[in-house]
Amino acid sequence: MTSLFSLLLSLALLSLSFLTTAVSASEFTFQEATIESIHLAFAQNRLTSRQLVDFYLDRIQTLNPSLRCVLEVNPDALAQADEADRLRAEARGGKGTLGNLHGIPVLLKDSIGTDDKMNTSAGSYALLGARVPRDAFVVERLRSAGAVILGKASMSEWYSIRSWEMPRGWCARGGQGVNPYVKSENPCGSSTGSAIAVAANMVTVSLGTETDSSIICPADHNSVVGFKPTVGLTSRAGVMLVSPRQDSIGPISRTVSDAVYVLDAIVGFDPRDEATGEAAKFIPMGGYKQFLREDGLKGKRLGIVRNPFSNSRGSTAASIFDQHLGTFRNYGATLVDNLEIENIDIILNPSKNGEMGVLRAHFKHHINEYLGELSNSPVKSLADVIAFNSNNPDLEKMEEYNQDGLIAAQMANILDEEVVKAEHMMKKLSEEGFEKLMKENELDAMVTLGLRAATVLAFEGYPALTVPAGYDDNGMPFGVCFGGLKGSEAKLIEIAYSFEQATRMRKPPLSFSSEFHYQYYYEQSYGTM
């Protein structure tokens, strides 16, 4: 009798535990899926990479006509997913180990070279049909980590250098990218499509590039995480460059943890990019995942710079930012408040900081190098691009926006005295501004509201990480931006992850997430603040 009872009991317990695993396994949702939730679903045989890619391709087909964030999908994406599924089945049989991004779909900014069936065009028609000599280093790394390359994301054409008049997120091939939260607001750029697609659950993660604000700004405006690593931590080889002094390749994702998975996959020494030799010493043994610590804010010294950032996004954003400062304190951080960056008005003023002249000169030099390496390309130099635009005014929509920026770049020269002088000034502004602020106050990170501090961090290649921090009265997202000294990624990750776990501010855009009900959205956004 007792043994029958205990048998029944253990049976009941067994089926109970079976039930709970079944429940947690069936909890996989495509919306807001993270790399960890996908890996778990793979491991539980609840999901295949093909199903995931199918879901995203379907989303892209449905949403891209209104959001305009994907220029091309990879004709080989499903085949890559099948291969990932096959390798996973094999690995289960004990053969081989899988990479950290195994079967994970990744979208690439259209300036990141891929040696496959896709075009790499910086949003322009001038490069259609051209072949790159090889995959960009970061793409090579993604592939070897097992990622599925899902497609190419739209961007501000030629990194916005084409024209002053051109709004951010516009390119001839894709048209104007649309902010999924507030359609009338600009989605920002230049890594526009990379941010929109992640925000609207059209891919798991993406890569963007930043010269000045190009990851941080679209991530901020589309309520996603954007991570610009220290210049040189990720190789720029095979990517169209604006300036080797400032350009960095980094992840855009819905969570800090996903950004770190991608970062781990793409960092490292590359003989084709000199700067990676210097920066490789920053990469910690065992990678960056170990810094995803919920208690990461504990003991950190954070410098809060309010002026001129805190009022840039309206009073609701400013008051939510103040609440976040309380969270930082509650989680054990020490705040050094109301700090000022020396010469901040000059640093943020495009007509005084000298940056545009430097970037145009560098762009001309490096785009000519890049174009020179292409085969089968309609254009082999910046001069050819300008001529292509003039000769194809309909394709390139020259009636809408001119190409004054490209023409100005064509006239610039990296050896011009003006350019060299401006480089020195930018270095000095950074050393006497941000770097001095960090060192004198012994800070682990600078914390600012919104995206504008990205410029402060751009001139000398410091890292920046933005995390969704809320929505203003119109539903427009904003982020909190963490900046640090070169190589301080580990600290930034600890701080950003801890902040994200404590606040969980990101919500998917309402009109594009059928699985989320308005009530849920409302309560999560406003009810618990």
Ligand X SMILES: *[C@@H]1O[C@H](CO)[C@@H](O)[C@H](O)[C@H]1NC(C)=O
CB 415, min distance to ligand X, A: 36
What does the alpha-carbon distance between residue 189 and residue 201 come to, in Å, rounded to a whole number?
Answer: 18
Residues in the chain: 529
Q: What token pair was written down for 66?
A: 């209104």
Contact 361, 416 (CB under 8 A): yes
* Distances, alpha carbon 338 to alpha carbons 341, 395, 429, 466, 496, in Å: 10, 50, 20, 20, 20
Answer yes or no whether residue 79 interacts with ligand X by CB under 6 A.
no
Residue of the chain from 118, 297, 347, 476 that contacts ligand X (CB under 6 A): 118
Q: Least separation, in Å, of the C-beta of 443 and ligand X?
A: 46
Q: Which stretch binds ligand X (CB under 6 A): 80-88, 117-125, 379-387, 422-430?
A: 117-125
Element (H, E) at 92: helix 77-92
Q: For 193-223, what is the HEC assignment?
A: HHHHHHHCCCCCEEEEEECCCCCHHHHHHCC
- Calpha distance 138→149 (Å, rounded): 12
For residues 261 and 123, give the distance between their C-alpha atoms in angstroms, rounded to a whole number: 27
Whether 190 is catalytic is yes
Q: Segment near ligand X (CB under 6 A), from 40-48, 113-121, 176-184, 488-496?
A: 113-121
Cβ nearer to ligand X, comparing 117 with 281: 117
Is the Cβ of residue 118 or residue 341 nearer to ligand X in the bound state?
118
Q: Which stretch binds ligand X (CB under 6 A): 112-120, 204-212, 414-422, 443-451?
A: 112-120
Out of 14, 75, 421, 523, the residue judged to bind ligand X by CB under 6 A: 75
Query: Which of 11, 128, 420, 529 touches ligand X (CB under 6 A)?
Result: 128
DSSP-derived secondary structure for 16-69: HHHHHHHHHHHT--STT--HHHHHHHHHTTS--HHHHHHHHHHHHHHHHHHH--
Own/partner pairs, 425-429, CB within 8 angstroms, 24+ separation = 425/353, 425/354, 426/353, 426/354, 426/355, 426/358, 426/459, 426/460, 427/459, 427/460, 429/343, 429/346, 429/347, 429/353, 429/459
- The catalytic residue among 49, 109, 191, 228 is 109
Query: Does 214 qualify as catalytic in the annotation?
Result: yes
Q: Which of 37, 49, 190, 248 is catalytic?
A: 190
Based on the shown chain and the rule CB under 6 A, indicate whether residue 119 belongs to the binding site for ligand X: yes
109: annotated active-site residue? yes
| Cα Rg of the chain, angstroms | 23
Rounded to a whole number of angstroms, the minimum distance from the CB of residue 128 to ligand X is 4
User: Of 156, 213, 214, 253, which residue is the catalytic one?
Assistant: 214
Nearest-approach distance from CB 171 to ligand X, in angstroms: 14
State how far the alpha carbon of 337 is from the alpha carbons of 120, 299, 308, 322, 345, in Å. 44, 16, 13, 11, 19
72 binds ligand X (CB under 6 A): yes
CB of 392 to ligand X, least distance (A): 13
* Least distance CB 59 / ligand X (angstroms): 18
**Interface map 129-168 toward ligand X (x if CB under 6 A):** x---------------------------------------
From CA 9, how far away is CA 27, in angstroms rounded?
Answer: 27
With CB under 6 A as the contact rule, which of the stretches 111-119, 183-191, 299-307, 520-528 interacts with ligand X?
111-119
Minimum CB separation from ligand X for residue 130, in Å?
9
| 225 in contact with ligand X (CB under 6 A) | no
Name the one range near ligand X by CB under 6 A: 115-123, 141-149, 272-280, 346-354: 115-123
Q: Interface with ligand X by CB under 6 A: which residues?
A: 72, 75, 117-119, 128-129
Annotated catalytic residues are 109, 190, 214
